Structure formats: C-alpha cells, structure tokens
Amino acid sequence: MNIALAQLNYHIGNFEYNTQKIIDNIKLAKDKGADLVVFAELAICGYPPRDFLEFDEFIGLCETAAQEIATHCNGIACIVGLPVKNEVLAGKDLYNAAYFIEEGKVKAITKKALLPNYDVFDEYRYFEPATQFQCIEFKGRKIALTICEDLWNINNNPLYVSNPMDELIKQGPDLMINIAASPFSYCHDDERVVVLADNAKKYKLPLLYVNQVGAQTEIVFDGGSLAFDKEGNLLDEMAYFKEELKVYEVEGDVIKGYTHKTHRTITDIEQIYEALVLGIKDYFVKSGFKKAVLGLSGGIDSAVVCALACRALGSENVMAVLMPSKYSSDHSIQDALDLVKNIGCEHEIIPIKEAADAFDSMMAPAFKGLPFNLTEENIQARCRGIIVMAMSNKFGYILLNTSNKSECAVGYGTLYGDMCGAIGVIGDVYKTQVYQLANYINKDGIVIPENSIVKPPSAELRPGQKDSDSLPDYDILDKILFQYIELKQSSSAIIAQGYDEALVRRIIKMVNTAEFKRYQTPPILRVSPKAFGMGRRMPIVGKYLS
C-alpha cells in the first residue's frame, strides 16, 4: 500500500482555497501512485479556527467542502481533518475529527479524544472528547488513526487518564497514522521526534505522521512530517517550513526503501529565522497585504526586523522610515542608511524634532516648569508612532513592530509609540538572541552593519542614553527572564541558583507591572515554548510574584 503525506499550508476559513489545495494534492498523490493520501488536523477549515467554530454556517461549509473533496476520491482514498457536529445533546457541540473517504464516500469518522487546553491550545472550549475508537480497514490492512494530541500522553507526567492507542491496539492494527497541527517552537521538533518514536516503540507499529506548515497570525507551523519503523527508529523527515508531498510504500509492518536516520541538526537561531520569515510572509499573504513599513533607528532590533521583512516580502515591498530626534547620533543615522543600501529597501527620513518641540511647547503651561523626564522621552517615541502610522494610513503599508522579548517582558517601551504595530516580529526573541539572529543574517556577507551589532543599545531619547541606564546587562537579564517566563520558576527558586536577590525581585516586579502594556501590543510571532500573547495568560492586577 502506498500512502502519501500531504504537508500543506492552509488558510483559516478560506474554504475555496483549502478545498482546491486538497483536491490538487489528491490528484498529485494519485499521479504518484498513492493508494491513500493523508492531510492534516482540521485541514479543511485551517487551525486554529477559534470562535469561528461557534458559527453554524462555518461548520456547514466544512461539511460542504468535505463532500466536494469526496467526489475526487476515486481510485484513491484520503484522510482529512475537519470539525463535525456532535449529534448527542449532552456535551460540547463539536468533535475535532477526521474523515476517511474512499470511492467518493465517507467510510469512517475518527474523533479526537485528548483535547489540549494549555499554552496556545484551547480545544476543550469547543470540542467534546471521543470515547469510542475504531481502526480503519483499507486494502486488507487496519490503520490506527489518531489526531495530534492523542499520541502525546506517553511521558512520565501524563495530562490525561487514558490513551486512544491503548484501545486501538486491541484491534490488531498494522500501522499508525497521526494527523496534526503541531505549532513551532525552537525546541518542539526534538520533543516531537521523541514522543512519536516512543509511540512506535510502545505499540510495535510503524507510524506515519503529517503536520501542517505555515503561519496563522502568531502561531507558526513548521511541517517536518515524519516516518518511523515499529522499533521507533526515525526513517524519514519531510521538509521544514515549506510544503511537500511524499509517498511511502508500506508492506506489512514495514515502510520500504528507508533505513534508520538521525533527526536533522539545525541551530535554534536558524529555526527562529526561518519561522519569522514564514510568519511575516503568511501574515501579509493571508491578510491580503503586500507592503510593510517600520521605523529604522540604526539599532540592531529594527535592522534585524527590516532584514527579515525584506527576505519575506521582497526589498521593494518594505519601507524603512528613519526618524532621528535631536538626541540621535550621526552614526545611528548612518548605520540605518548603510542597512538600506545593503538591503535595497525603500526609505524616508523624517526628523521628529519639530513635532517633539511643538508638544513640549504645547504642554509647557500644564507641566508648570517641571524638569525633563520620562514624559518627554515618551512624547518623542509617540511622535515616531504617529509618523509610521501616518505612512501606513496614507500608503496602505502594514506596520511591523520591532520590540524584542526582553523589552516586552520588562515594559521597556512606550505604549502608542514604539510598541505600536500590526504584528510583533521579534517580540518572542530575547535581546541576546537578536544578536545571534543578526550574525546569522550576516553569515554570507554583511547585511546588517557591524556598528549596529557592536554598539551599546540605546533608545536615544535623551543625551547619552543607553539601555543599561535602565536595565541590567542583557546577558544577565535574559537568563533571569528565561527562568521566570519559559521555566516558570519563582523568585526564590531563581535566587537559589545564585542570582542577586535584589536584582531578581526587581526584574520580576518589572515583568508583572508591565502586564497591562502587553495586553495592548500587537500579536507576536511565537517561536519559543512560552511566548507573550495567547499562550501566557496573567492577571493585570494580581499580587502574587509582584
């Protein structure tokens, strides 16, 4: 039996697009000699559909699309994910399900049992968990079909009290197939390989796994579909960050033509780079946008975002706006211009001195001679926000936010100033990782000027300002932030590792008191196991840890 895995990039709620893509790949798989082609979890509607699932019409369109797809399954069968109605009144109204379609008809329905409700996942909000399990019979073989999380309850600290495979294995299956929408983080591919290998080893069955690829607002899917033998050895690994269809010949309990291989070796930074490029590209394509605008300061953050945007959208579609203040150094302006020259994007120079002076003059009577402080710094940042938003409104550009994760964490940014934008490109990338990204971008030649990388970071909103005036050294700050945000360690646990107590408590207080700012920032492309946004939900007025 020849089984094709179709690793595709779907668009949430775009039924015409998704349906045609699925049909095209059914034809392609058939041309390649496949007997069965497998698509990803909720492929018909895209993942995650979120509250679209609350619309009856949306569910009806999923079913209509599935029936259209079925008409093309002649001489080839398919497995495709979609939401289906729960006909029992008690419980949630929907199942996260998959259709097995053969000879133009839905022959079997598999329903997801283990519904993740952590981090970016919110499936129990919408779906009822399955309680009955049945293998699919096809061409004299039994297939144990599961959906994503159904194979993830295999570690030493299980989240669920049962495993679908423990029931399916009693029916004597010949093969496991798992369809998934498994989001990217820079460490998740390693975890995924281990978990799936453990399933193949535990149940003594070969396993074919298909994942989605592409970005849906802040969530990126990296693909990397996999094949394992019945001993849990990795046999094949499909492409990462791009679409691919591949056919596997399965004879008995053997996937033929492959020998054992090791999981690909790729650095975290290279993965983050590819994920951010894909995230930018899909945000624009799926939203119907073409051109981006960003403020270019001459610093490393905006330089990295500009380089990523040019890779994703083409340099001709990126507008960099230089907005020097009266405190901006000549070298910062030159660094920004050098980047523009290296990268070939459009640019404008719009100084903010006149606007900032006007605000100072306008506010002078109300401020009653009080000294210059953070207020005037923020006015300058908001002047810049007005300018880039004006460029966005006038020319239809979409504003890219350039704040990094370290800044987002401690609130080192100005609401309605440098924190504005439609999508946060590096808001899940710590400052120390931004430097690594810059060096990666420069690996084949200078794109980001060396001076942007080596000079001390500064907002340049007052004379001689440096980030280190307000923040601890980034090498220390990022390590403490990682312990608190990604590893969820308390202040006492972090202090016990040898960090200065006063510093730890100061940093954690900064993170917690900045929560109200993060509620008002753009969606942030997720590349880490714990990103700000839908995957990290903290109360604004909570006292604990403050």
- Residues annotated as catalytic are 41, 112, 148
Query: What gap in Å lies between CA 282 and CA 278, rounded to an integer?
Result: 6
* Burial track 466-486 (b if 16+ CB lie within 10 A, e otherwise): ebeeebbebebbbbbbbbbbb
- The kind and range of the H/E element at 164 are helix 164-168
Query: What gap in Å lies between CA 7 and CA 180, rounded to an integer?
Result: 10
Eight-state DSSP code of residue 175: E
Q: How many CB atoms neighbour CB 139 within 10 A?
A: 12
* Burial track 82-103 (b if 16+ CB lie within 10 A, e otherwise): bbbebeeeeebbbbbbbbbbbe
3-class DSSP assignment, residue 7: strand
Please check if 295 is assigned to a binding site.
yes
**Phi, psi at residue 480, to the nearest 5°?**
-70, -40
Please check if 300 is assigned to a binding site.
yes
Query: What gap in Å lies between CA 229 and CA 236, rounded to an integer?
Result: 10
Please check if 337 is assigned to a binding site.
no
- How many angstroms separate the Cα of 496 from the Cα of each of 243, 373, 388, 480? 46, 36, 45, 12
**Phi, psi at residue 476, to the nearest 5°?**
-80, -45
Please check if 297 is assigned to a binding site.
yes
Please check if 369 is assigned to a binding site.
no
- Do residues 138 and 100 touch, judged by C-beta distance below 8 A? yes
Please check if 276 is assigned to a binding site.
no
**Bridge partners for 10 per DSSP:** none
Please check if 214 is assigned to a binding site.
no
Please check if 490 is assigned to a binding site.
no
Please check if 182 is assigned to a binding site.
yes
- Do residues 273 and 245 touch, judged by C-beta distance below 8 A? no
Q: How many CB atoms neighbour CB 445 within 10 A?
A: 7
Please check if 301 is assigned to a binding site.
yes
Please check if 288 is assigned to a binding site.
no
Please check if 296 is assigned to a binding site.
yes
Query: What gap in Å lies between CA 188 and CA 347, rounded to an integer?
Result: 37
Please check if 378 is assigned to a binding site.
yes
Query: Which residues are CB-neighbours of 389 under 8 A, at least 6 positions away?
Result: 399, 420
Sequence length of the chain is: 546
Please check if 262 is assigned to a binding site.
no
Measured between its terminal Cα atoms, the distance across the chain in Å is: 59
Eight-state DSSP code of residue 51: G
- In the annotated binding site for ATP, the residues are 295-302, 402
- In the annotated binding site, the residues are 118, 182, 295-302, 378, 402, 407, 517
- In the annotated binding site for deamido-NAD(+), the residues are 378, 407, 517
- In the annotated binding site for L-glutamine, the residues are 118, 182
